Structure 1
Amino acid sequence: MKPLISVIIPNFNHAPYLKQRIDSVLSQTYDNLEVILLDDCSRDNSGEILSSYKNNAKVKKIIINENNSGSTFKQWEKGFELSCGEYIWIAESDDYCDAFFLERLVGQLSENGTVAIAYTSSHLVDAHNIFIKKVRGKGSFKYSGHEFIVQKMAYGNSIINASSAIFSRKALKQISQDYTAYKASGDYLFWIYLAEQGDVVYVRDAHNYFRQHNLKVSPGAVKSGLVFFETIKIFRYLKLHNYLKGLREHLAHGYYMWLITKVNFDNKVKKKEIIDMWKKECSCSYLNKYIFICMHSFEKLKEAIRFMF
C-alpha cells in the first residue's frame, strides 16, 4: 500500500499565491494524501480562499487562527499534531510544485527505509511565475545523516525552502522542539535535527518552485540581524557535536563573516555588534573570510565550466 502523506500548508498573508499552491498539491500524481490548511490570522482574503476548499475530499482540516501565533514554526507544530501520515510535507503557501513532486520523493523514501529526509532542487520564480533561476540537474545522491550535516549544512541551510522536502514522522518524533523558539532560523536547526535521525536523499531534478516576492519576511530578518543572532547558536551546536572540525570550522566561520559584509543592515551599530560577536567564535576571523571567498569563487568557476561543456 502507498504510505499516507500529510501535507501541511501554513499561510500568512499569501492570498495572491494561495490557490496555485493548494491546486498544485491537490493535482499530484501521488494521490494518497491528506491536506491540512492553516492560516495565522492573515489580514488579506486568505480565509475565504482556504474555506473554498472545505468540501474537497483530500482536505482534512482548515484552521484559521483568531490571533497570530508569532511563529511559523509553531504553526508547523500545530500541523504535525493534526496529521496522521507516515511522511510529512510542509508545502509553504507562496510556493508551488509540478505534478510529480510527491511521486518522485516518496519513491526515494520507500526504496530506502533508513531515509529521514528526501528533498528536491528548486527553481526560483518571481511573483508572476517567471523564472529567476532555472535549475538543471538529474539523478540523486544519498548521504548518511552525519555526512549530510558535515557536507551540506556547514555553510548555512542547504534545504533553502521547506516546500522542497518531505520527511519521516518516525524521525520527527525523535527530535527536540526547541527550534520553535527561533523566529527566522528554526528551519535550519529543524533539518539538522532530522538528519541526525537517518539518511538524507537529494534529488537533483527540480520539481519545486521557490517564489521570491515582496511579501516575504525573511529579508527583514536578515537586515535586522536576527538571522545572525540565531545562526550563531546553530554554529555552536555544530561545533559541540563535532560536525565542524579543523579547516571546516574555519571555512564555516568565514562563510558567516563574508555573509555579514554583504548585508545592508538597518542599523550600523547592530552590524558592528554582530561582527564583534562572530569574531569571538573562531580564531583568524578575517583570514577565514578570505579563505572562504577563494573556495567559493573556485566552486563557482567549476560550476560554470561544467555547464559550458
Structure 2
Amino acid sequence: MSEAVINDSLLSTSTNNLPLVSVIIPAYNAANFIERTLNSVLNQTYTNIEVIVVDDGSQDETSAIVQSIMQRDHRIQLLHQTNAGVAAARNLAIKRAKGEFIAPIDADDIWYPQNLAKQVQRFQESDSSVGLVYSWSVVIDGEDNPSGDFHISEYEGDVYIALLYKNFLGNASSTLVRRSCFDRVGLYDCEFKAKGCQGCEDWDLYLRIAEQYQVRVVREFLVGYRQTTSSMSHNYSSMVNSQQSVLALIHKKHPEIPNFLYRWSCSLFYIYIARKASVSGKYLETLLCLYNALKLDFSMTLLRHDLYVQLIKMVITPFLKIIKFLSFNNSETLIINKDNYSQKFKMENRKKIIKLKKFLPAKIYENWRIHWLSKRIAMQKYKVTG
C-alpha cells in the first residue's frame, strides 16, 4: 500500500482501529464559545476520540450547553470541580483520560477538521522519542473569522533551548501529547495559581516534555486561536510574573544555562505583551513593555519589526479614530472596506509572508543565536558526562 493511500485513510478514518485520542477542555464561564469549540472537535476527520470537559466552577450556562451536546454525541464526558484553575482542570481530565494521546484545547478556541488526523499521522511516522506534535495557528475573532495574524514555527527535534527562548508553540490548543509523557515529566503545575501568576502552565509543561522528548511540527494552519478585545484585557504584570516564575524554575534546575538567555526570553515576552496591550488600546503599557524589551536585549529588539510597528500604530491610531469620527457614514464605510480588503490580502498572501519572515534580520539573528547556544550547552554537557 502506498504512503499516499495510508495518509488518505488516516485523514478520513471512521473506524476505531487507530489510537484513541483524549481531548481535554477546561471550561470556566465559557458559554459564549464552548458550543463552537465542541463542534470543531466533534467534526474532526479523526473520529476515534473521547472528549472530557471539566467545568471549573462556572457560574453561567457552560454545563447546560455541554449537557445538551452530550445527548447527541456519546463521546463527550462532563466533569465538575470547584474553581481551581486551568491547570487543575486539565489534570483532572488527564487522570480520567483513556487515550494514548492527550489533546488539550481551550474552551474558546477551535480546530479545523484535519488537525487531529495530521497530528496523529506525524506521531505514526515517528518513533517513541517523539513526545509532542504541534500545528500552526491562525488568530480568530469572536465570529471565528481570521484576523490576519497567525503563529508559525519551523522548530522540531531537540527544541529545548528554542522553547526556553520563546513559546513558539503559540497557544495551549495547538499540541498533541503522548500520554506516557505525563508519567515521566508530571502533570500541569497548579502552584502557579497558588502564587497568583497563572498563564504559563502550558509553557512550563512543554519545557519539561522538550527536555526529555523530541518534538515534531505539522506545517499547516489547523488551529483557530481566539483573541478578542475582552480576552486581551489582562493584568500584564501578572503575565510577566508568571513568565519569570517559569524561568526561575529553569534557572534553578539548569544553572549551566547562561543568564543572558533568560534576559533574551524576558525581552521577547515584553514584545509579546506590548502587542497585546496595543490591541487593547493601552498605549502607556505598550511603551513600558517596549522600553523593558530594549533594556533587556537592545540589539535584538532594535532589529525586530514589532518595535516599529507598535510605535507607528501608537502615532497613527489616534488620528484614524478622529478621522473616522469626523467622516461619519460614507467615509466610515470606506475605512471598514479597506480593513476588510487588508484582512483578505493578509490571508491570501500568508505563505508569502511566511517566506519573507525567514529573511528578516531579526529572524536570521534569532536562529543563529539559538543554534549557537544549543551547541554551546551540548558541548558543556558532553564535557561533564565525558
Q: Which residue of 2 aligns with 1:152?
A: 163
Partners of 1:185 and 1:33 lie apart in 2 by 27
Question: Greater shift after overlay, 199-208 or 225-234?
Answer: 225-234
Which digits, 9 at most, give the CA deviation of each residue in 1:167-225, with x for residues without a partner? Answer: 01111111244722112221110111121221111222110000112453x64242xx1
Q: TM-score, normalised by structure 2?
A: 0.64
- Maintained 8 Å contact 1:10/1:93: yes
Bigger proportion of residues as helix: 2
Q: Distance in 2 between matches of 1:258 and 1:18?
A: 30
Q: 1:55 to 1:105 in 2, by over 3 A?
A: same
Question: Identity percentage over the alignment?
Answer: 20
Shift of 1:251: 2.5
CA contact (8 A) 2:88 2:188 kept: no
Report the alpha carbon displacement of residue 233 of structure 1 after superposing the two structures with TM: 2.5
Partner of 1:282: none
Deviation string for 1:30-78 (max 9, x for gaps)? 111111122112222112111112334542421234x322x11100001
Shift of 1:20: 1.1
Which one of the candidate residues 12, 23, 27 is aligned to 1:7? Answer: 23
Counterpart position of 1:174: 184
Q: Distance in 1 between matches of 2:120 and 2:181?
A: 15
Map residues 40-119 of structure 1 onto 2, 5 A cutoff. 40-65=56-81, 67-69=82-84, 71-113=85-127, 114-119=129-134
SS state of the match for residue 36, structure 1?
A: strand
Residue equivalent to 1:133: 148
**Structure-2 separation of matches of 1:262 and 1:160:** 14
Pick aligned residue for 1:165 from 175, 180, 195: 175
In the TM superposition, 1:197-208 aligns within 5 A as 197-208=212-223
| C-alpha distance in 2 between matches for 1:60 and 1:10 | 13
Question: Where does residue 210 of structure 1 map in the other structure?
Answer: 225
| Larger RCO (CA within 8 A; separation ≥ 6) | 1
Give per-residue Cα distances to partners, 1:138-158, cap 9 Å, x unaligned. x975312xxx12123313x22
What TM-score comes out, normalization by structure 1 length? 0.79
Larger Rg computed on CA atoms: 2
CA contact (8 A) 1:123 1:208 kept: yes
Mapped partners of 2:188, 2:22: distance in 1: 22
Distance across 2 between alignment mates of 1:57 and 1:262: 39
| Contact 1:6/1:33, CA 8 A, preserved across alignment | yes
Shift of 1:236: 2.8
Rounded Cα–Cα distance in structure 1 between residues aligned with 2:354 and 2:67? 50
SS class of match (2:199): coil
Q: What is the CA-CA distance between 1:98 and the residue it aligns to?
A: 1.0
Gaps in structure 2 of 5+ consecutive residues: 1-16, 193-197, 278-284, 310-351, 360-386
Could you tell me which runs of 5 or more consecutive residues in structure 1 were left unpaired when the two chains were aligned: 265-270, 280-284
Structure 1 partner of 2:299: 291
User: Structure 2 vs 1, CA of residues 140 and 109 (structure 1 numbering), >3 Å: closer, same or farther?
Assistant: farther
| Cα distance, 1:232–1:134 mapped onto 2, change above 3 Å | closer
Output the CA distance in 1 between the equivalents of 2:221 and 2:80: 31
Shift of 1:124: 0.4
Distance 1:110 1:206 in 2: 20
1:118–1:203 CA contact under 8 A, matched in 2: yes
